[in-house]
């Protein structure tokens, strides 16, 4: 019994999923893979890693049976050969290989069926030979008989398949014979080299084979040429003449050398160089400044040319927009502003001169005595005038310098800075109240910027306090502060005083006078008259403050008080 190599069988080890194909095959679709008798799905359950290696997705378990078999398609031939087409040896070989494989597979299947039947018969014989298990042997025999019948059926099916394969082989042989007959029939065609050699007086239904079909698609005496077909020196066409049309009809075409239709490995194919009139291979060129007509531009060259053209187009568009927006030389109306750079020189001719009645260009002038109404004063002229006016203020009548004001309910203290050029100042206090129900003493202190109101700095203070309408003083104060009166949260104090600066050598004096009004604890009105207040300091007197005299006889100028204080400074005495 002859067997053929149409399958491979392996036992799974639980670790390997790569198995070798030990037999030839035509197509992947002709392969079947089984694990324990269950067929697997191609691409999902298994794939080919090489032409001779199968990889199963799920590793077969240990002891399982892996079976790879060839099941060549027997429903149709691999390559159909049609009348008029060229016959290649490879196509015939594929068809005969298909027939051979189908026959081999059928034979192997038949052999397997016979082996199964023989095994069944052997099992039955062995069963019958065992007297101790006669009944079991009988049953086994019956089973074996059934298996034998099934094996016979399988063998019959294999025989049928072999018959089908034989039929396919016969069909292939018939096709080959038909092709051979077609080749033989070619002898009825008159063979000419090109269209110029066509018979000049053909008969109806004359057949001609043109070896060089160049120009067949555009010839006026040839019809039925398929759209897109172009004749070529390497293509032959078959033509048939018709008296009814007086033209040749296109029948078919084929390569002059069918076995060389496909380039073999290592074969050198010569392709002509491309020109403006011939298709072919071409050399690339990235230059944008050449006139060569035998090279092709690269994308880089195209991009550079495009960018240059695009920039030129943008520039031209901008220039056109500027030209469209520009005023004509004949004049017009400008709707926007003009911005000039710092070095721009603008001619003054033709521009109007500024006056008090019209705008225009103007010339600067440093003079502070000019009466021109067509020139503009410089910053220097303004400063000169300002300095002159300031001098006049400081030395003229009144000599007002500035004024300071504090709202004691808002401001954090009651300290004022005396300007250095002040020779006189007036102090006005309105509604000063100490935010306490206890009677508090209100005082004034004048001192330097470095040492604030230390003992002995205010000398010879003569603050005399009277009850209203009484001649005898209630108190005469000669301490280091000017005593103004008393105040509570319901008893306000008001005052008005004037101080003048006297400088003698290194000593600075402020002499002052004025009155203040407040209410004593028995609701008796008090009047404080400052008749002479010499404030002596060896340093420049810089500050004045109004505060509350605390229990330790030190004034508090940040006391929580309310009311208003205003001071005006003057440059004269």
Question: What backbone phi and psi angles, to 5 degrees, belong to 203?
Answer: -95, 165
> Residues 299-305: what's their mean pLDDT?
89
Task: Check whether 348 has a pLDDT greater than 60.
Answer: yes
Residue 26 CB neighbours (<10 A): 14
Task: Check whether 180 has a pLDDT greater than 60.
Answer: no
Task: Check whether 296 has a pLDDT greater than 70.
Answer: yes
Domain coordinates in residue numbering, the chain: 7-180, 190-258, 362-367+374-397, 400-570
Q: Which pLDDT value is given to residue 68?
A: 94
Residue 214 CB neighbours (<10 A): 16
C-beta separation of 506 from 429 below 8 A? no
C-beta separation of 151 from 170 below 8 A? no
Q: Which two tokens stand for residue 314?
A: 């943008």
Q: Which two tokens stand for residue 344?
A: 């721009």
Task: Check whether 466 has a pLDDT greater than 70.
Answer: no
Q: pLDDT (tens digit, 9 = 90+) per residue, 209-236?
A: 999 999 999 999 999 999 989 999 989 9
- Ranked by mean pLDDT, which of 65-69, 322-326, 557-561 comes out on top? 65-69
Q: Which pLDDT value is given to residue 470?
A: 56
Q: Which two tokens stand for residue 492?
A: 């306000």
Q: Which two tokens stand for residue 167?
A: 């039929």
Per-residue CA distances from 521 to 73, 255, 428, 477, 491 (Å): 132, 139, 23, 19, 9
Band (pLDDT 50/70/90 cuts) for residue 457 is very low
> Residues 515-544: what's their mean pLDDT?
67
Residue with the bigger pLDDT between 342 and 308: it is 308
Count H helices and E strands in the chain, helices first. Answer: 4, 29
Task: Check whether 63 has a pLDDT greater than 90.
Answer: yes
53-56 and 18-20 strand pairing:
antiparallel
Long-range contacts of 296-299 (CB under 8 A, 24+ apart): none
Residue with the bigger pLDDT between 495 and 269: it is 495
Q: Which pLDDT value is given to residue 76?
A: 81
- Ranked by mean pLDDT, which of 305-309, 319-323, 454-458, 537-541 comes out on top? 305-309
Q: Which pLDDT value is given to residue 16?
A: 95
- Ranked by mean pLDDT, which of 343-357, 403-417, 543-557 comes out on top? 403-417
Q: Which pLDDT value is given to residue 187?
A: 42
E strands of 256-300, at which residues? 283-285, 295-297
Residues of the chain above pLDDT 90, percent:
21
Task: Check whether 121 has a pLDDT greater than 80.
Answer: no
> Residues 440-445: what's their mean pLDDT?
81
What is the C-alpha to C-alpha distance for residues 56 and 19, in angstroms, rounded to an integer? 8
Q: Which pLDDT value is given to residue 522?
A: 72
Residue with the bigger pLDDT between 183 and 217: it is 217
Band (pLDDT 50/70/90 cuts) for residue 44 is very high
Band (pLDDT 50/70/90 cuts) for residue 136 is low
Q: Which pLDDT value is given to residue 219?
A: 94
pTM value is 0.33
Residue with the bigger pLDDT between 375 and 18: it is 18
Count, residues in the chain: 573
What is the 3-class SS of 472-524, one letter each residue? CEEEEECCCCEEEEEECCCCCEEEEEEEEEEEECCEEEEEEEEEEEEECCCCC
Task: Look at 173-177, 245-249, 276-280, 355-359 and tell me which has the smallest mean pLDDT.
Answer: 173-177
Task: Check whether 393 has a pLDDT greater than 90.
Answer: no
Band (pLDDT 50/70/90 cuts) for residue 164 is low
Which residues are paired to 353 by β-bridges? 361
Mean pLDDT estimate for the chain: 77
Q: Which pLDDT value is given to residue 186?
A: 43
Per-residue CA distances from 225 to 138, 191, 221, 236, 553 (Å): 77, 19, 11, 13, 131
Q: Which pLDDT value is given to residue 132?
A: 57
Distance of CA 458 to the CA centre of its chain: 78
Q: pLDDT (tens digit, 9 = 90+) per residue, 501-519?
A: 776 655 566 667 778 888 7
Q: Which pLDDT value is given to residue 160?
A: 67
Task: Check whether 430 has a pLDDT greater than 50.
Answer: yes
Q: Which pLDDT value is given to residue 431?
A: 87
C-beta separation of 143 from 116 below 8 A? no
Residue with the bigger pLDDT between 567 and 389: it is 567
3-state DSSP assignment of residue 104: helix
Task: Check whether 361 has a pLDDT greater than 90.
Answer: no
Task: Check whether 465 has a pLDDT greater than 50.
Answer: yes
Band (pLDDT 50/70/90 cuts) for residue 435 is confident
Task: Look at 20-34, 69-83, 108-122 and tell me which has the smallest mean pLDDT.
Answer: 108-122
Band (pLDDT 50/70/90 cuts) for residue 20 is very high
Cα torsion through 555, 557, 562, 563, rounded to 10: 90
- Ranked by mean pLDDT, which of 136-145, 259-268, 283-292, 316-325 comes out on top? 283-292
Q: pLDDT (tens digit, 9 = 90+) per residue, 81-90?
A: 777 666 777 7
> Residues 459-464: what's their mean pLDDT?
50
What is the C-alpha to C-alpha distance for residues 79 and 306, in angstroms, rounded to an integer? 52
- Ranked by mean pLDDT, which of 237-246, 299-308, 408-417, 556-565 comes out on top? 237-246
Dihedral sign for Cα 241, 244, 247, 251, please: negative
> Residues 123-149: what's their mean pLDDT?
58
Angle formed at CA 487 by CA 485 and CA 493, multiple of 5 degrees: 65
Q: pLDDT (tens digit, 9 = 90+) per residue, 184-200?
A: 444 468 999 999 999 99
Q: Which pLDDT value is given to residue 459?
A: 44
Q: Of 458, 426, 464, 432, nearest to 547 (Cα)?
A: 432
Task: Check whether 23 has a pLDDT greater than 70.
Answer: yes
């Amino acid at each position: 019994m002859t067997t053929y190599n149409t399958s491979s069988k392996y036992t799974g080890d639980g670790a390997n999923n790569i198995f070798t194909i030990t037999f030839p095959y035509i197509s992947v679709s002709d392969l079947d893979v089984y694990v324990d008798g269950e067929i697997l799905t191609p691409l999902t359950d298994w794939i080919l890693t090489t032409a001779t290696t199968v990889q199963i997705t799920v590793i077969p378990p240990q002891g399982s049976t892996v079976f790879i078999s060839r099941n060549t398609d027997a429903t149709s031939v691999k390559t159909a050969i049609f009348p008029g087409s060229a016959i290649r040896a490879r196509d015939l070989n594929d068809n005969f290989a298909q027939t051979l494989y189908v026959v081999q597979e059928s034979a192997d299947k038949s052999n397997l069926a016979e082996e199964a039947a023989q095994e069944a018969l052997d099992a039955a014989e062995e069963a019958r030979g065992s007297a101790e298990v006669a009944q079991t042997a009988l049953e086994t025999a019956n089973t074996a008989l059934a298996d034998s019948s099934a094996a016979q059926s399988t063998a019959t099916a294999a025989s049928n398949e072999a018959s089908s394969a034989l039929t396919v082989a016969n069909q292939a042989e018939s096709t080959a014979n038909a092709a051979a007959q077609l080749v033989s029939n070619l002898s009825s065609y008159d063979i000419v080299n090109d269209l110029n050699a066509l018979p000049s007086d053909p008969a109806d239904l004359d057949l001609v084979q043109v070896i060089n079909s160049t120009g067949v698609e555009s010839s006026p005496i040839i019809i039925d040429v398929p759209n897109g077909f172009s004749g070529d020196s390497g293509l032959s066409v078959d033509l048939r003449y018709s008296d009814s049309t007086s033209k040749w009809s296109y029948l078919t075409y084929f390569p002059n050398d069918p076995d060389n239709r496909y380039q073999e490995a290592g074969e050198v194919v010569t392709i002509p160089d491309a020109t403006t009139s011939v298709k072919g291979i071409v050399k690339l060129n990235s230059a944008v400044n050449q006139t060569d007509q035998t090279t092709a531009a690269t994308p880089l060259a195209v991009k550079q040319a495009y960018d240059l053209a695009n920039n030129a187009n943008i520039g031209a568009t901008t220039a056109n927009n500027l030209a469209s927006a520009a005023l004509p030389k004949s004049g017009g109306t400008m709707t926007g502003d003009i911005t000039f750079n710092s070095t721009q020189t603008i001619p003054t001719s033709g521009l109007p001169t500024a006056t008090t009645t019209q705008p225009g260009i103007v010339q600067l002038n440093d003079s502070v005595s000019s009466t021109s109404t067509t020139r503009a004063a410089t910053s220097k002229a303004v400063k000169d005038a300002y300095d002159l006016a300031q001098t006049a203020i400081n030395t003229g009548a009144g000599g007002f310098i500035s004024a300071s004001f504090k709202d004691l309910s808002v401001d954090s203290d009651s300290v004022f800075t005396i300007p250095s050029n002040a020779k006189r100042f007036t102090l006005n206090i309105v509604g000063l109240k100490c935010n306490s129900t206890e009677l508090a003493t209100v005082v004034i202190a004048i001192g330097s910027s470095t040492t604030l109101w230390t003992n002995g700095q205010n000398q010879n203070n003569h603050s005399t306090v009277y009850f209203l309408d009484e001649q005898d003083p209630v108190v005469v104060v000669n301490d280091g502060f000017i005593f103004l009166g008393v105040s509570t949260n319901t008893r306000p104090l008001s005052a008005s005083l004037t101080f003048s600066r006297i400088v003698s050598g290194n000593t600075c004096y402020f002499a002052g006078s004025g009155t203040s009004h407040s209410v004593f604890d028995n609701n008796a009105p008090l009047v404080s008259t400052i008749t002479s207040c010499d404030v002596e300091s060896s340093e420049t007197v810089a500050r004045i403050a109004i505060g509350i005299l605390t229990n330790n006889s030190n004034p508090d100028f940040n006391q929580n008080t309310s009311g208003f204080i205003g001071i005006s400074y003057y440059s004269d005495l």
